[in-house]
């Protein structure tokens, strides 16, 4: 009797009970969403710094890798640029010399240009510098066949000439050596003189005409007189002018020479010239 009475009550209030159950379910669902959102927000605030901290070593390794990669590329590019710079300097010096030479020879006919030079690249292995000499020792090897008196250059200018030649090594007499004498001239005015070493860092310019106007900053090049050094090779720039002396700062940094070019320029044989001169005089 009681069971049937309960069933009757459930049938009467079924709709109300279902409504209440649905309302409770919706309320619980909303409460769970807020709780989940709050929990997620707190977890994000706590975990994010930990994730950044764990990623820090990886970021550091990546930064170091990229740095050394860029550094390697920069070094390779610098080597390439230095090589191109050396070539451009030689081209610039040659172009400057040819420009002046062309102006001087513009009105001449039947001018014969000299043959191309032959060169050897050698590595400097030692330096000899004291109160009596300024010289370098270069490894020339067996196959290069260097000759005494050949011109020695860097990409910047004249260094000196070969003084002694061995089977594997050669001695370079620098332009600052007390025994060095090089015929030179002022590039613009063509005033000639002799670059004389005295074991100082800046050799002297001697035997120049008294009336010549030489100024600080004038470029000095070889004059080609005497046939050892051809005309137009860059030597240095006038650094000091006084009544007592004129000093020249070499273009080449003689204290930091690592590689040199040993150049053989074609010159006329003096004996042949003497014989021809004697025959002409005899006739």
Based on the fold, state whether residues 99 and 185 are members of the same structural domain.
no
CA distance 251 to 154: 9
User: Taking a C-beta distance cutoff of 8 angstroms, is the pair 232, 97 a contact?
Assistant: yes
* Per-residue pLDDT reduced to its tens digit, 152-186: 999 889 999 999 999 899 999 999 999 999 999 99
Length of the chain: 283
Per residue in 236-263, pLDDT (tens digit) is 999 999 988 999 999 999 988 999 999 8
Residue 74 burial (CB count, 10 A): 10
pLDDT number for residue 117: 61
Query: Which pLDDT value is given to residue 273?
Result: 36
Distance CA 267, CA 270 (A): 9
Q: Which of 216, 222, 269, 276 is nearest to 246 (CA)?
A: 216
Same-domain status, 50 and 82: yes
Mean pLDDT per 10-residue interval, the chain, length 283 residues: 62 66 64 55 61 66 78 84 80 73 57 60 86 86 85 92 92 95 93 94 92 91 86 94 93 91 67 37 37
Same domain membership, residue 138 and residue 43: no
User: Domain check: are 166 and 79 in the same one?
Assistant: no
In a domain, 47, yes or no: yes
If one counts every other C-beta atom within 10 angstroms of the C-beta of residue 245, the result is 13
Residue 41 domain-assigned (yes or no): yes
Same domain, 135 and 241: yes
Could you tell me if residue 10 is inside a domain?
Answer: no
Whether 61 and 99 map to the same domain: the answer is: yes
- Number of separate domains in the chain: 2
Provide the pLDDT for residue 281.
38
* In a domain? residue 54: yes
**Are residues 100 and 123 located together in one domain of the fold?**
no
CATH no. for residue 261? 2.40.10.340
What pLDDT score was predicted for residue 68?
Answer: 81
Please report whether residue 276 resides in a domain: no
**Are residue 36 and residue 143 in the same domain, yes or no?**
no
Residues 206 and 79 in one domain: no
Q: Quick one: 148 and 261 in the same domain?
A: yes
CB count in 10 Å sphere of residue 120 = 21
pLDDT of residue 55: 64
In SS3 terms, the chain reads as CHHHHHHHHHHHCHHHHHHHHHHHHHHHHHHHHHHHHHHHHHHHHHHHHHHHHHHHHHHHHHHHHHHHHHHHHHHHHHHHHHHHHHHHHHHHHHHHHHHHHHHHCCCCCCCCCCCCCEEEEEEEEEEEECCCCEEEEEECCCCCCCCCCCEEECCCCEEEEEEEECCCEEEEEECCCCCCEEEEEECCCCCEEEEECCCCCCCEEECCCCCCCCCCCCEEEECCCCCCCCCCCEEEEEEEECCCCEEEEECCCHHHCCEEEEEECCCCCHHHHHHHHHHHHHC
Q: In angstroms, rounded to a whole number, what is the distance separating the alpha carbons of residues 136 and 213?
A: 34
Per the structure, the complete domain to which residue 231 belongs is given by: 118-267
Torsion of CA 35, 39, 42, 44, to 10 degrees: -130
Q: Who's near 125: CB < 8 A, 6+ residues apart?
A: 137, 138, 139, 169
d(CA 35, CA 37): 5
Asked whether residue 210 is domain-assigned, the answer is: yes
Question: pTM score > 0.85 for this model?
Answer: no
Same domain, 131 and 99: no
Contact 186, 209 (CB under 8 A): no
| Same structural domain, 83 and 125 | no
């Amino acid at each position: 009797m009681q069971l049937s009475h309960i069933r009757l009550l459930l049938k009467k209030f079924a709709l109300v009970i279902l409504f209440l159950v649905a309302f409770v379910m919706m309320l619980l669902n909303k409460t769970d969403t807020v709780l989940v959102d709050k929990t997620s927000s707190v977890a994000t605030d706590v975990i994010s710094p930990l994730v950044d901290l764990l990623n820090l070593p990886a970021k550091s390794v990546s930064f170091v890798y990229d740095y050394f990669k860029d550094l390697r590329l920069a070094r390779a590019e610098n080597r390439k640029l230095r090589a191109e710079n050396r070539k451009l300097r030689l081209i610039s010096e040659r172009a400057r010399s040819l420009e002046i030479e062309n102006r001087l020879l513009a009105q001449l006919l039947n001018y014969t240009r000299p043959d191309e030079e032959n060169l050897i690249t050698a590595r400097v292995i030692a330096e000899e510098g004291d109160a009596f000499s300024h010289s370098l020792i270069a490894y020339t090897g067996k196959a290069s066949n260097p000759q005494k008196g050949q011109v020695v250059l860097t990409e910047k200018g004249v260094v000196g000439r070969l003084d002694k030649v061995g089977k594997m090594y050669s001695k370079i007499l620098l332009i600052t050596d007390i025994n060095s004498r090089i015929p030179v001239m002022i590039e613009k005015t063509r005033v000639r003189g002799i670059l004389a070493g005295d074991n100082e860092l800046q050799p002297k310019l001697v035997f120049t005409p008294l009336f010549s106007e030489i100024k600080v900053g004038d470029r000095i090049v070889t004059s080609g007189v005497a046939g050892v050094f051809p005309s137009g090779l860059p030597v240095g720039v006038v650094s000091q002018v006084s009544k007592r002396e004129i000093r020249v700062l070499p273009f080449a940094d003689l204290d930091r020479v690592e590689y040199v070019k040993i150049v053989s320029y074609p010159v006329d044989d003096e004996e042949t010239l003497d014989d021809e001169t004697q025959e002409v005089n005899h006739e």
